[in-house]
Structure 1
Amino acid sequence: MITGAYARRMARYNRWQNSQLADFLQELSPEELTRERGAFFGSILGTANHLLWGDWSWMPRFDAGPGPDSPPDSKGGGIHESVHLCPDLDHWLPLRETIDARIGAWADTLGDDPITGALTWYSEGKEKNISMPYAECVIGFFNHQTHHRGQIHKMLTEAGSEAPVSDLVFMPQEV
């Protein structure tokens, strides 16, 4: 069973990974960021947008705050529109930092006892209410991040870029 300590560690890891990723993304031209690469979400930016959208979509389930469809000027849409969340890095970078801070703040609210209970939400994709163990939702949330950052890592290296160090053992103590 996982605890709030696990979520806090993974929130720190998420922030560290996204900080490194941002540095590498900023070294690429807009053309390299948006080039179709045959990935499920197309381009590096499309995949980074989907990852950000996924995090932002899960946060209201965890902290009852706003989701990507909440702001009047949001381009949140559904999973298929997630690739268009931010048109460029100038929009992606500050939103990524905001959502990462929100993830950290939520994780800080969790105690050190095992995470128990159920989480219930309406799934637009399945068009019905879903109920799952809260702990499994937390694990799935962080697993989704790792999965898509792995895809971005592959695309970065294929583009001739360096890519972030992702091993948890190398995470700095303070992130």
Structure 2
Amino acid sequence: MIDPAFVRMMAQYNTWQNNQLKPVLEAMDHDDLIRDRGAFFGSILATANHLLWGDTIWMSRFDPSVEAPAVTGARSTDLHPTITSWSADRFRMDGKIRFWADGLRALDLKGDLTWFSGTMDCNMTTPVASSIVHFFNHQTHHRGQIHAMLTAAGQKAPVSDLLFMPKDA
């Protein structure tokens, strides 16, 4: 299904995307970041928080050295009250994702992953490879929502096409 090169490419893409988003978000007024824009999670900051929460919970499942978020999924949109604290945590998580991806071997992508899902209130088991694909798909989905909200807010949303990712991103 996937191989370590795919995981490394998607980890690089994640970092590239977030590095483009951070300066746009950091330049915005706080009220603009928390304004309800009619998206699933409401605001840009709430969506960015949920995305970071999702990355953290998945990384805690993939890599035992990563701690699960201190808040539940129901509070995922409240992870950080400001874009400054979000940005610092986002930077750290992106580094952890890259480090994890760089260390993966083909064997690590085999087998199943089992965890307790607070959302479903039960144990879940899925193939590791499918879980990793979901992890990256979740990122892309919510960054797309942020992109749309930025555009609607009159901001210049960054380039998101994977094919345009610089080699050194």
CA distance in 2, matches of 1:93, 1:56: 14
CA contact (8 A) 2:26 2:84 kept: no
2:89 pairs with 1:95 = yes
Map of 1:172 onto structure 2: 166
Return the offset for 1:165. Answer: 0.2
Query: Which of the pair is proportionally richer in helix?
Result: 2
Alpha-carbon displacement from aligned partner over 1:101-152 (angstroms, at most 9, x marks no partner):
0111111111246821100111111121110000000000000000000000
Give the alignment of 1:139-154 within 5 angstroms.
Answer: 139-154=133-148
RMSD: 1.2
Map of 2:61 onto structure 1: 61
The letter for the 2-side match of 1:136 is S
CA distance in 1, matches of 2:108, 2:114: 18
Unaligned 5+ runs, structure 2? none
Map of 2:17 onto structure 1: 17
41-50 vs 111-120, which deviates more?
A: 111-120
The letter for the 2-side match of 1:98 is R
Map of 2:6 onto structure 1: 6
What secondary structure sits across from 2:115 in the alignment? strand
Alpha-carbon displacement from aligned partner over 1:76-95 (angstroms, at most 9, x marks no partner):
x2222111100001100110
Cα separation, partners in 2 of 1:128 and 1:114, compared to 1, 3 Å? closer
Aligned length: 168
Alpha-carbon displacement from aligned partner over 1:53-91 (angstroms, at most 9, x marks no partner):
00011111000121112xxxxxxx222211110000110
What secondary structure sits across from 1:32 in the alignment? helix
Map of 1:83 onto structure 2: 77
2:123 pairs with 1:129 = yes
What secondary structure sits across from 1:166 in the alignment? coil
CA distance in 2, matches of 1:95, 1:114: 26
Map of 1:72 onto structure 2: none
TM-score (norm 2): 0.96
The letter for the 2-side match of 1:34 is I
Map of 1:110 onto structure 2: 104
CA distance in 2, matches of 1:53, 1:114: 23
The letter for the 2-side match of 1:140 is H
Give the alignment of 1:153-164 within 5 angstroms.
Answer: 153-164=147-158
148-157 vs 115-124, which deviates more?
A: 115-124
Return structure 1 stretches of 4+ with deviation > 6 angstroms: none
The letter for the 2-side match of 1:162 is K
CA distance in 2, matches of 1:83, 1:50: 5
CA contact (8 A) 2:73 2:118 kept: no
What secondary structure sits across from 1:136 in the alignment? helix
What secondary structure sits across from 1:132 in the alignment? strand
